[in-house]
Structure 1
Amino acid sequence: MSLITKEEQLQVDGLIEKLPELVEEAKYDELYGYQLDPKGDFYDEEVTKTLVIKFLRANKFDLELAKTQLSKTLKWRKEFNPLSAGFSEDHDEKFDIISYITWYEKNSSNEKVVTFNVYGNVTNPKDIFGDLDKFLRWRIGIMEKSIQILNFKDPDNSSMVQLHDYKKLSFLKMDPDVKNGSKATITIFQDYYPELLSEKFFVNIPTILSWVYLFVSRFVSEETRKKFKVLGNGTDVAKYLGDQIPKEYGGKSKQSLKEQRFDFDNSNKEFQLSEYAAFLLSKQFTEELD
Structure 2
Amino acid sequence: MSLSLRQIRYFIATAEAGQVSQAAVNLSISQSAVTTAIKDLERTVGAGLFERTPHGMDLTSAGRRFLSQAYEILQKVEEATQLNLVTDKVEGTLSIATTYTVIGYFLPFHIERLKRQFPAIDIQLFELNRESVEEGLLTNRYDIAVMLTSNILNPELMTEKLLSSQRRLWLPARHGLLEKDKVGLKEVSEEDYIMLTVDEASHSTLKYWSQSAYLPKITLRTSSVEAVRSLVANSQGVAILSDMVHRPWSLEGRRIETISLVDPIPSMDVGLAWRRNVEFTPAMEAVRSYFRRSFNIPE
Higher relative contact order (CA 8 A, sep 6+): 2
Query: Which has the higher Rg, Structure 1 or Structure 2?
Result: 2
Higher helix share goes to which structure?
1
